[in-house]
Structure 1
């Protein structure tokens, strides 16, 4: 996406403009707006071995300048030159395959334009370069590709000439349409399929296309049809798969409205909608009973089936609140610390899908379960490094009539209780708990958790308004406490009721 940067040496500038060294010297004095030489980024990093880097010119700036300067317009960017008043209409030249995706050829008064329907970076340069290296058998003059954004007259374009394929520049959709003599076809990104572009010709109606399934949707549909999982898990994955499909269809419709809709001043862009999504069954049903969905995902998390692992990875990335797990947390397996005290109570177990997702592909020597919170835990075994405990933070703590006794700060926030237990502090899946100087940020998340647990050890913490945590608690946690620091209940209560001192 975007215009590829290119830099031209002095001899290359002379070749583009058709001048000798004296002619280039003359241009710098004749035209006040002539582009000044610069230093390319790659040369700036090599100055240690060179006293002065070679002068170079920004190829895009030079090519634009030439196109808009009467003396050199015939040497500049083709699609930036003034269009002739008596412009004859172009004609469609059919479909072409390229190394960077599907393309359409348009034979115009300024030569053949090859339009590649891709917004990947360097598309125009790569296709133009391939043509130049092959001797340009189709006599293409300019290659256009999609920029990935909206321009003034339609989708923004990137262009490169076969004569100078390294130099890319932005072009206007409306100018290419004027040269073609007709509105140009456009496909939404997810419907930009070679078979559709290959079948299009002027006058073709918009193809009605089933939205291609995303990989995540296919994973969930596979689980939904697997007899090994129960009905609640089927309902859970189907609900999420339908949501993914609905979102993709909505996004295509929004993209079409953005790119193929009216331009500035409500002037229609010169665009033919070449494909539209099939909405005959849109939207699919979603928003099932939350309790059922959570139950279904919890059962998948406890499964040891490979498809359950794949589905759980989708859920954690898309809607982690459906799972009974908080944020992923890592702490070193340190002896003589609060961490060791907590780890002594863990029970070894066979890995579940939740463990497999938690492992993230790392080598693991043992899998565990926290019997007090039911949180999956594992211990990584990285060669040459201290073993690490990795676990999901609990969403809440078991109360049982106990209260918060102290907070211990050791790589995360730990809660000790009046009945002698120690727990990782509860935390939502999208939050993290920390302390110390945050370079302007404040550890209000940890302060909000502690504030809630001081009143009710078993409460589920609402982190949505963590910035409203007591200022005194936030100020206490903003200090750079050493690992292992223990803050007693009395100290926490005192901080909660004491406004921080003004600095």
Structure 2
């Protein structure tokens, strides 16, 4: 999240500080650190509004913070940024309060009631403070704190908004709020920040032991694991990934508790009470099984046409694409007379599989294909106001069959022609891409590494984890600006591979 920006006109600054026009003029000259005026950021919708934006504005947070730090105006500044009273009396817990942004805990303090909302969404503090100010009903809360989503010097970072000026947010110190409350303040890790737990909390209560709820991805995978139409290997593969997600969420929750509740500055403890810990009774669940068996399960799932397979495959693409039998998503325009047309002539039309559905994303495909030599799914995306496209997964390897790389052709990706007359998109790993030309300081070493491997063995499975180690001569060749459709022969590639690039 963060502190939401607010801007004050000249009249609003005068009202905030209780001065007239001359008084503001005097402040600007008397105080060197008085915030300077600025121009309000451009509003792209201003052209559609009759309201004119003020030419001169001040950052509301800066003015409010300045007032709190200036004795003459401290009573008009941010409530939680002024110095703590010398006769500070310990506050007391005042129970929970339901708000427009979820349940909060109240603390009666010397400065008034401070309301802490356990929500780190943007503008939470402003929305809750505004609701109090606009309600017209009695509420003694003078300020609202919400979570910033990060940690500060004295504990979890806070964003505050005072009910007197709810539109102005500022950062507040957890340690200051704890000092006003007179005790350590409770904190819940994100995934255990459940309304019922916050409402039930009381000072002195032990940390609640709570089962970490499943996120959307885990639910999708568990549903697929229960689907009896899938074979046992596929169900085991999705279960393995679901278990990995759950283990990660429990570990991350434990880590959050450690980070936000740890001691700082020698022996000084953070004034935090960890209010909930994850249930680790069955933790960790078994995962990270045999990679080849997992890949086999995902491969079978990719050939399914069941919606559960599509949903599970979408999770895997985002989480662990190396388990899938596909390389990088690649697009080339539908263009007669190009190298890609030679490839598309051998494609076989088929019914869509889960792999096709995930490849299509939100686009409408007019036809579905499979490459019979590499088993890669292929789509034809209609023009629909733009050029029609072939979209496909690059293969992870090519069928060797005793042939060798004969040449490459550069046409929106790297194409391989073989000595036995076939054309293939060059293999590529799921998280890389193949390109050429000046990369603004970056060099196309991925393409160089792929070609280097295929020159040795047409059927090699490419590994691009260390693509920057590709032969410098090949990388220099691909760094040149080749036109689309340019072809490079095997002999030229071999010569480049053995020739160090010239120093310019």
TM-score range, shorter chain: over 0.9
Cα distance in structure 2, aligned partners of 1:153 and 1:54: 39
Q: Secondary structure at 2:149's aligned position in 1?
A: strand
Cα distance in structure 1, aligned partners of 2:178 and 2:296: 55
Answer whether contact 1:363 1:382 (CA < 8 A) is retained. no
Match for residue 12 of structure 2? 12
Q: TM-score with structure 1 length normalisation?
A: 0.97
Answer whether contact 1:186 1:273 (CA < 8 A) is retained. yes
Cα distance in structure 2, aligned partners of 1:467 and 1:382: 37
The 3 A distance-change label for structure 1 pair 136 and 165 is farther
Answer whether contact 1:471 1:499 (CA < 8 A) is retained. yes
Correspondences of 1:460-499 after superposition (within 5 Å): 460-499=461-500
Correspondences of 1:67-466 after superposition (within 5 Å): 67-135=68-136, 137-466=138-467
CA deviations 1:1-36 (Å, max 9, x no partner) are 111111111111111111111111111122111111
1:133 shift after superposition: 1.3
Q: Secondary structure at 1:272's aligned position in 2?
A: strand
1:458 shift after superposition: 0.6
Cα distance in structure 1, aligned partners of 2:165 and 2:52: 30
Cα distance in structure 2, aligned partners of 1:311 and 1:191: 25
CA deviations 1:273-306 (Å, max 9, x no partner) are 1111001111111121112111111110011111
Which stretches in structure 2 are left out of the alignment for 5+ residues? none
The 3 A distance-change label for structure 1 pair 311 and 40 is same
> Which stretch of structure 1 is more off in the superposition, 340-349 or 280-289?
280-289
Cα distance in structure 1, aligned partners of 2:347 and 2:11: 71
CA deviations 1:245-269 (Å, max 9, x no partner) are 0000000011111111112324111
1:475 shift after superposition: 1.0
1:338 shift after superposition: 0.5
The 3 A distance-change label for structure 1 pair 316 and 67 is same
Q: Secondary structure at 1:264's aligned position in 2?
A: coil
Match for residue 31 of structure 2? 31
Answer whether contact 1:349 1:367 (CA < 8 A) is retained. yes
Answer whether contact 1:152 1:264 (CA < 8 A) is retained. no
Answer whether contact 2:40 2:54 (CA < 8 A) is retained. no
Cα distance in structure 1, aligned partners of 2:11 and 2:291: 68
Cα distance in structure 1, aligned partners of 2:51 and 2:124: 33
Q: Secondary structure at 1:3's aligned position in 2?
A: coil
1:496 shift after superposition: 1.1
Q: Secondary structure at 2:281's aligned position in 1?
A: coil
How many residues are treated as equivalent by the alignment?
502
Cα distance in structure 1, aligned partners of 2:199 and 2:15: 38
Which stretches in structure 1 are left out of the alignment for 5+ residues? none
The root-mean-square deviation of aligned C-alpha atoms, in Å, is 1.7
Q: Which runs of 4 or more aligned residues in structure 1 lie more than 3 Å from their structure 2 counterparts after TM superposition?
A: 43-47, 49-53
Cα distance in structure 2, aligned partners of 1:434 and 1:309: 30
The 3 A distance-change label for structure 1 pair 380 and 266 is farther
Cα distance in structure 2, aligned partners of 1:467 and 1:96: 57
Q: TM-score with structure 2 length normalisation?
A: 0.97
> Which stretch of structure 1 is more off in the superposition, 133-142 or 180-189?
133-142
Cα distance in structure 1, aligned partners of 2:320 and 2:453: 25
1:51 shift after superposition: 13
Cα distance in structure 2, aligned partners of 1:497 and 1:302: 42
Answer whether contact 1:236 1:293 (CA < 8 A) is retained. yes
Q: Secondary structure at 2:266's aligned position in 1?
A: helix
Match for residue 3 of structure 1? 3
